[in-house]
Structure 1
């Protein structure tokens, strides 16, 4: 069993690393306002600072499904007008994409987690995604264990829970100079043009703590002055029809451009 696990791990991480090798992430055109790009000569193995017991969690099909499914279930809820914010229901979404997994986004997220340093990177753009977004989370614990899928689910649920602090009018225009409780993780999850997500997770030990660090990158980020999603009758803007699996979201194949420029 252990040798099978190691074989699968090698295959998954090899695919992630190959994604990093297939593009020139050092191009100055990718990060015109901030940099450097985290994937420019990005880490393809764990940093020595992670320690000898560090583990990069391979994003197998089960984890990928969990991540994408949970994002889409939350997106479906708000798109159908089923989410109550601050004494108001968030508006229905006219054309919210069904999110899909993206290996390149996951590979770039890995360049962050492999540092074993909690924090957003300055730029994670690619030639496909010109304004890529990011959510990060970390858990410190000792004397107990958590399954990887439980941690991933709790991280994503925690991000989404910021809806309770998000004013409904922010959906129509992401705020400038915002001061208050965190809302950006939630708005990132429900961005209508966030067509893709890719995530990475690393676990390491810094005595006495075990650290689980989770990073998800998205096709588009929160942009000041832009709508998080365009309100309108549910699926009214979907050219490919409305999803049966995730009601309120457009079918997979909807031609949505995630790039604002």
Structure 2
């Protein structure tokens, strides 16, 4: 029996204005969990975040950066160029799609980020993405400044660097019971079951530190006892052809279902 794993911590749910989609629909989430956007945050919680908090705009520049960094890293794995700490190279991926932006996943990621409380939410699923995954990161600093580009690139690369802890066996079948060093952010990035991502970032002050909290939601999460990606000659199973910009990935037109 396959089991979903989603790196879930305790979630805090705040009440604000409603939303078009009914994220309070109990069928979206596992039993006894609450969707982060059920009557969730449409604006920053200033009582928690502070008056100077603001949401970093996910404009086209930041969206393109997020996709570019993700897809460069996916390409590295798909073409068999990534090894772990023991210098064991991972297998190539036969049908890894090109990651694309999804506005709904981004809006739900924002509901988490606007709490200014670091932690995975209990549920972020949608009618389309019924097993959505999530990566989160936070940076605290004082007396320095960082550009959005530096922060976003750093966060995603930090997640990806968990590759050093992964093994060929883990990628062939995500472990049902795992107590080793972190791997879940990396496996989420290189999952071949998802082609969609949406992210949000909030800046706030916890004196004297500036904090940047970054949340990315993905179309599918890590699935226990299931391969992170199907190995084989890079792009060999892509039906739409290969991506010339990101070697080893399928073209953006590839119809990959975000699910089982």
Q: Contact (CA 8 Å) 2:194, 2:256: kept in 1 or not?
A: no
Partner of 1:21, secondary structure, is coil
Q: Contact (CA 8 Å) 2:194, 2:259: kept in 1 or not?
A: no
| 1:127-166 C-alpha deviation (Å, 9 max, x unpaired) | 0101000000001111111112111100000000000011
The reply to whether residue 122 of structure 1 matches residue 122 of structure 2 is yes
Structure 2 unaligned residues grouped into runs of 5+: 1-16
Match of 1:49 in 2: 48
Q: In the TM superposition, what is the alpha-carbon distance from 1:74 to its structure 2 partner?
A: 0.3
What is the number of residues matched between the two proteins? 243
Partner of 2:139, secondary structure, is strand
Name whichever structure is richer in helix by fraction.
1
The reply to whether residue 30 of structure 1 matches residue 28 of structure 2 is yes
The reply to whether residue 186 of structure 1 matches residue 221 of structure 2 is no
Distance 1:247 1:154 in 2: 22
Match of 1:76 in 2: 75
Distance 1:50 1:112 in 2: 12
Runs (4 or more) in structure 1 with deviation over 2 Å come to none
| 1:86-121 C-alpha deviation (Å, 9 max, x unpaired) | 331110101001000110010000000000000000
What TM-score do you get using the length of structure 1 for normalisation?
A: 0.90
Distance 2:232 2:157 in 1: 26
Distance 1:21 1:52 in 2: 24
Q: Contact (CA 8 Å) 1:34, 1:123: kept in 2 or not?
A: no
The reply to whether residue 155 of structure 1 matches residue 180 of structure 2 is no
| 1:214-243 C-alpha deviation (Å, 9 max, x unpaired) | 000000001111110000111111110111
Q: Contact (CA 8 Å) 1:79, 1:92: kept in 2 or not?
A: yes
Q: CA RMSD in A?
A: 1.5
Distance 2:180 2:113 in 1: 27
